[in-house]
Structure 1
Amino acid sequence: MTKRITNKTVWFTIILGLAANLFFAQNTIPATTPTDSVSIDTTVVDTIVIRKTLTKIKHIPRGVNLTNPVISFKKTKPLKDRYNRFRVPSFWKKENQLGINVSETAFVNWNAGGDNAISGLGFLKFSRNYKFRYFKWDNNLDLRYGLNAQEGRKLRKTEDVIRLNSNVGYRRDTISNWYYSVQLNFNTQFSNGFKYPDRTTPISRFMAPGYLFFGAGTSYISQDQKFNLYLSPLTQKSTFVLDQRLADRGAFGVEKAVLDADGNVITPGENHLLELGFLVTHNWNLNLGKNIDLNSRLNLYTDYLASFGNIDLDWELNIKMRVNKYILTTIGTHLIYDDDILFDEVKNVDGIVTDPGEPRLQFKQVLGVGVAYDF
């Protein structure tokens, strides 16, 4: 009897609890009215039906163009320029240029007269420049050599240059264009130079002279790096004359040899001249127009010790006009004045120098059309 009453009680309790839950329990999404301030946090997702088989279109309306995509290379054109592959960015900027300028004159039954002639000038330029935040390092190497052949005479040299420049700079911030700089310049030539038509006595040779400038100062370099001004109040200039015959004559400012009464050498001439002075160098690249560029390079130097106030000048001005990617026209001038280079030396009948000569302004003008290749 006790067991039966217990089972009925349990079932009654369960039924009563379910009824109370249905009557008093709150819906999971409460009903709201326009005046309620509580928004419903509910997202409605529409149902998308994807049919397994599509009904084919039997009747295509007029004006509808249904085409299947087809890949065709019939209308494609080859690239004119070589494809540039992606390269990892570098702080180095390099420039390589190789070229030759040629000028030629030929006459056949020419009543006004003239001699057939041809001239050639080969040049090679390397540039390696590094720039990152406060540090900058510029390196340039210029090599030039030219020859002229004229009917009835031997080859003559028209150009001979070896020039190396290196400048290291440091600035205190990335906004300023002023750098603390250390600079090195080196100049010499490839082969013997003569005062034509004399071909027996060279007036210059490789490392005779050779010039080395080394000093410290400050540089102003524009953001586009086309304007560079270097001021050095302390620069050492070394002049090398490694040809003993020229050194004995005291060429290019070195101490000449001491001779006896018969002209015999007692003390050989010096092969090296050391000077300390003030140096100003200036490089400026200016675009004058489409495919027309102007380049100016200027060196000014004066010695503190021997001849302060006498300024050595080296100014080169070139205008380059590029016809296309390979054809290049160059018009250039070059001015040099150095009081250590003397002209019109006078000797007596015994071969003794009576007048060492005087310094003069040297001038050269060049016009060339040729081929230049950048690589």
Structure 2
Amino acid sequence: MKTSFLYSIFFFCMSAGMSAQTVDTLIVARDTLKVIVQDTLKTAPVAVSHWEKKNIVGFDLNEIAFVNWSAGGISSVSGLLKGSFIRRYVSDNVKWGNELIVRYGVNKQDGIEFRKTDDAFQFVSTFGYRKDTLSNWYHSAKFNFNTQFTSGYSYPNIDESVSGPFAPAYTFLGVGAEYANKEKKINVYISPLTLKNTLVLNQRLADQGAFGVKKAIYDGDGNLVKEGERSKTELGILVTTAYKTEILKNINLENRLSLYSDYINKFGNIDVDWQLQLDLVVNKYVRANIGSHLIYDDDIKATEDVDGVQVLVGPKIQLKQMLGIGIEYSF
């Protein structure tokens, strides 16, 4: 409509001082030009972006309340805020995927202060190149970063934290091969050369040798001779897998597994990080989820309460189970 209006103004201005024959000629030229412009606009190629993006934010809520309940019990409410943000570049032979995952959850019970139930900040970036479009194998480089937002405690002891932001933080940087099948939603990454760096930027925790860093050295009188190291670097092999499928209608299963072994320090001891989640889709916005997270790291020593004192013991399997229903929004 705007184009027709401009044509009319142009024609009016040009025809004001011209003869009828000249005006007829201009009318034909105008109509011809209009057809050419319209055809050009219809056939002009549409710019296609190689970038894909997906944002998911959600909130889960669990609540239980007791009023004159003869069998006893404690009223409680739990909330979990979570988000997943994906940016992916895909062309014929190049693939670059970036994913940011954040979670933070708290629980409140009668007579007890707020307690943290979940806390995660995870970023993964993978770049891959393949020789031709027929292959699902890529030459790849991967970077992982994991930490948390706030301090963590071994409840009910809240006097001293057992973890915190960048205490620990883990980075993985390596090169290898990646099998990516988009149709089957399977991804396998194998890296024979991966640097793992563990950061413990809380000096008190570093002095304790938390999360595998070298602990502080004290003399016979208990005086500090050398502070604990706040980082630890390892070189090893990393294998990660990811698989997602709809096992039944509106029931989706997602499985993520990461295995790492250091070449220098006890090669064969495998660090395991396994996440399994079941999503039950109620409708576009409401979902229920059941999940588990298992971690085993030979460098992470468990703590036990002995006569009111937290004592370090050997490494143990860490297991977290989750069940929730909440709202989820994608954009």
Please, what TM-score do these two structures have when normalized by structure 2? 0.83
> Within the alignment, does 1:304 sit opposite 2:263 as a pair?
yes
8 Å Cα contact 1:346-1:356 kept in structure 2: no
8 Å Cα contact 1:100-1:121 kept in structure 2: yes
1:296-318 per-residue CA deviation (whole Å, 9 max, x = no partner) reads 11110000001100000000000
Larger fraction in helix: 2
Residue 225 (structure 1) shift? 6.5
Residue 321 (structure 1) shift? 1.0
Provide the residue aligned with 1:261 in structure 2.
Answer: 220
1:45-99 per-residue CA deviation (whole Å, 9 max, x = no partner) reads xxxxxxxxxxxxxxxxxxxxxxxxxxxxxxxxxxxxxxxxxx8532211110111
**Of the candidates 89, 92, 108, which is equivalent to residue 133 of structure 1?**
92
8 Å Cα contact 1:329-1:370 kept in structure 2: yes
Provide the residue aligned with 2:183 in structure 1.
Answer: 224
Provide the residue aligned with 1:342 in structure 2.
Answer: 301
Paired residues for 1:310-349 under 5 Å? 310-344=269-303
Q: Cα distance 1:246–1:199, how it changes in 2: closer, same or farther (>3 A)? A: same
Provide the residue aligned with 2:313 in structure 1.
Answer: 357
Higher relative contact order (CA 8 A, sep 6+): 2
Residue 290 (structure 1) shift? 2.0
For this pair of structures, how many residues does the alignment match?
Answer: 286
2:189 and 2:144 mapped to 1: Cα distance? Answer: 12
Provide the residue aligned with 1:236 in structure 2.
Answer: 195
Provide the residue aligned with 2:207 in structure 1.
Answer: 248
Provide the residue aligned with 1:143 in structure 2.
Answer: 102
Per the alignment, in what secondary structure is the counterpart of residue 195 of structure 1?
coil
Residue 344 (structure 1) shift? 3.4
1:210-256 per-residue CA deviation (whole Å, 9 max, x = no partner) reads 00000000000003271100000000000000000000111111011
1:357 and 1:89 mapped to 2: Cα distance? Answer: 57
1:371 corresponds to which letter in structure 2? I
Unaligned runs of 5+ in 2: 1-45
Q: Cα distance 1:223–1:124, how it changes in 2: closer, same or farther (>3 A)? A: closer
**Of the candidates 136, 140, 151, which is equivalent to residue 181 of structure 1?**
140
* Fraction of identical pairs, as percent: 49
Q: What is the Cα-based RMSD across aligned positions, in Å?
A: 1.9
Paired residues for 1:1-375 under 5 Å? 88-224=47-183, 226-344=185-303, 356-375=312-331
Per the alignment, in what secondary structure is the counterpart of residue 276 of structure 1?
strand
Please, what TM-score do these two structures have when normalized by structure 1? 0.74
Unaligned runs of 5+ in 1: 1-86
2:222 and 2:84 mapped to 1: Cα distance? Answer: 45
8 Å Cα contact 1:346-1:357 kept in structure 2: no
User: Highest Rg: 1 or 2?
Assistant: 1
Q: Cα distance 1:346–1:287, how it changes in 2: closer, same or farther (>3 A)? A: closer
2:96 and 2:255 mapped to 1: Cα distance? Answer: 20
Larger fraction in strand: 2
1:88-137 per-residue CA deviation (whole Å, 9 max, x = no partner) reads 53221111011100000011111111111000000011001111001000
